[in-house]
Structure 1
Amino acid sequence: MRLVADNVSVARGGHIFFSGISFSLEAGEALVVSGPNGVGKSTFLRVLAGLLPDAEGSVRLEDAGFETAAEGAHYLGHRNGMKSELTVRENLEFWRSFMGEAGGDQTKVSAGVIEAVAMVGLDGLDHLPFGYLSAGQKRRIAMARLLTAYRPLWILDEPTAALDVQSQEMFSGIVAGHLKTGGLVVAATHHSLGLKNTRNLILNPDSQAAMSSHDPFASQEPA
């Protein structure tokens, strides 16, 4: 399985954020997207997820059993994608049902709703309305959605926002587990996710983008 971006250019409202991005990720690899606020990281992820059109180029997910990269992806953006008035269980059951009927590798086993809630450290809270949860708890339940229906590609936009250090480490473990089973991850972040086997895409304000083997967060103190 491989994620391939070929000469991707992204424009929005007539403004070109960046152009000529090409890369490929093999199964078990992660791409960390970094750069200053407003440079286009979120826009780039939305293009990968099929939520925005690319100005030119192509994105494809090869040998994964899905017709498009978007069909084979989970997208976790800044918003959690949950209804406040529904319970945690109801929200996750909706996403499990909505995402569950798909192609791809059917040998991959998804977690049940209660199991997924426990995996993000919130077992026993599935009966509560989502709106009752704290900001950090809401983010963790949004992460549980990734576990309830298998998708090989996880597209994550600032996934550890609102999380404390312990929860950040928990999430890093979940992502590392996904990579270990041959999954793919593309994540935009301002902080180290503590992952191994990563490649780095650095977006710059001058509409340039560069692949790098350098860890952009190597000089930072642990979050």
Structure 2
Amino acid sequence: MRLVAEGLGAKRGEDLIFQDISFEIASGEALVVKGPNGSGKSTLLRVLAGLLPAETGTAKLLAAAHPVERVGEAAHYLGHRNAMKRELTVEENLAFWKSFLGDVEGGAGTSIDAAVEAVGLGGIAHLPFGYLSAGQQRRMAMAKLLVAWRPVWILDEPTAALDAAAEAMFAGLVTTHLAAGGIAIAATHQPLGLEGVKELRMQGFAGVMEDVW
């Protein structure tokens, strides 16, 4: 499996944010997107997730069986917001995402109990999501990545509001996902504790070219 982006460009309003972004990531690989504020990191992730249209270029997931023309159909997106209803319990929120997203062919998500245990918060899934601290809420949002199997994880500042122990926990989740043949793309200013990752450095506004290594 390979995620291939070719000549991607995107606008914010009428302004071109970036152009000519191309990269390739294979199963078991992670790409970290870096750059100054306003350089288009979050916009690039949203384009990949299908939440924003690309002005130019394409992104495809080339699998053994057949290519996925829209990467978002096989991806989890974890953005700045946790995408969980405050009034519902953690279990109800995760049950919704497990049912709504479903498993992509070739994998199987974990149970809700196993996902909650994996993020270190077993025993509190019965609580309303809004009762949790900011760090606990972020951990529970990460559990969403586990309950439905999606080969691509698209992560925007995923360790925001986390302490050092939680950051290490999340690095373990990503490492396990990559070991299972998954792909991860993360925009962050902080190290994720992953080894051997590729980097894409966004340089600025219109006319930007990317560096990948």
TM (norm. structure 1) is 0.91
* TM-fit CA distance, 1:67: 4.8
The reply on whether 1:210 has 2:195 as its aligned counterpart is no
| Other structure's SS at 2:73 match | coil
Contact 1:160 1:168 in 2 (8 A): yes
Aligned to 1:117: 116
Aligned to 2:125: 126
Q: Once superposed, which parts of structure 1, at least 4 consecutive aligned residues long, lie more than 4 Å away?
A: 64-67
Following the alignment from structure 1 to structure 2, what is the Cα–Cα distance between the partners of residues 17 and 67? 23
Contact 1:136 1:162 in 2 (8 A): yes
* TM-fit CA distance, 1:40: 1.2
> How many residues are paired up?
210
* TM-fit CA distance, 1:196: 1.7
Aligned to 1:104: 105
Unaligned regions of 5+ residues in structure 2, if any? none
Residue type of the partner of 2:192? Answer: L
CA gap of 1:67–1:54, structure 2 versus 1, over 3 A, is: closer
CA RMSD of aligned residues (A): 1.2
TM (norm. structure 2) is 0.95
Following the alignment from structure 1 to structure 2, what is the Cα–Cα distance between the partners of residues 18 and 144? 32
Aligned to 1:47: 47
Following the alignment from structure 1 to structure 2, what is the Cα–Cα distance between the partners of residues 103 and 144? 17
Following the alignment from structure 1 to structure 2, what is the Cα–Cα distance between the partners of residues 140 and 22? 31
Contact 1:39 1:203 in 2 (8 A): yes
Aligned to 1:92: 94
CA gap of 1:103–1:150, structure 2 versus 1, over 3 A, is: closer
For 1:49-69, what per-residue CA distance to the aligned partner results, in whole angstroms no more than 9, with x for missing partners? Answer: 000000010000111654521
For 1:11-56, what per-residue CA distance to the aligned partner results, in whole angstroms no more than 9, with x for missing partners? Answer: 1211111110111101001110011112111111000000000001
Following the alignment from structure 2 to structure 1, what is the Cα–Cα distance between the partners of residues 144 and 134? 16
* Identity level (%): 55
Aligned to 1:163: 162
Residue type of the partner of 1:34? Answer: K
Aligned to 1:79: 81
Contact 2:28 2:180 in 1 (8 A): yes
* TM-fit CA distance, 1:109: 2.7
* TM-fit CA distance, 1:104: 2.4
Following the alignment from structure 1 to structure 2, what is the Cα–Cα distance between the partners of residues 22 and 210? 7
Contact 1:201 1:209 in 2 (8 A): no
| Other structure's SS at 2:162 match | coil
* TM-fit CA distance, 1:197: 2.7
Following the alignment from structure 2 to structure 1, what is the Cα–Cα distance between the partners of residues 179 and 104? 21
Most deviating of 33-42 and 87-96: 33-42
Contact 1:84 1:131 in 2 (8 A): yes
Contact 1:199 1:211 in 2 (8 A): no
Aligned to 1:193: 192
| Other structure's SS at 1:70 match | helix
The reply on whether 1:68 has 2:67 as its aligned counterpart is no
Aligned to 1:144: 143
Unaligned regions of 5+ residues in structure 1, if any? 214-223
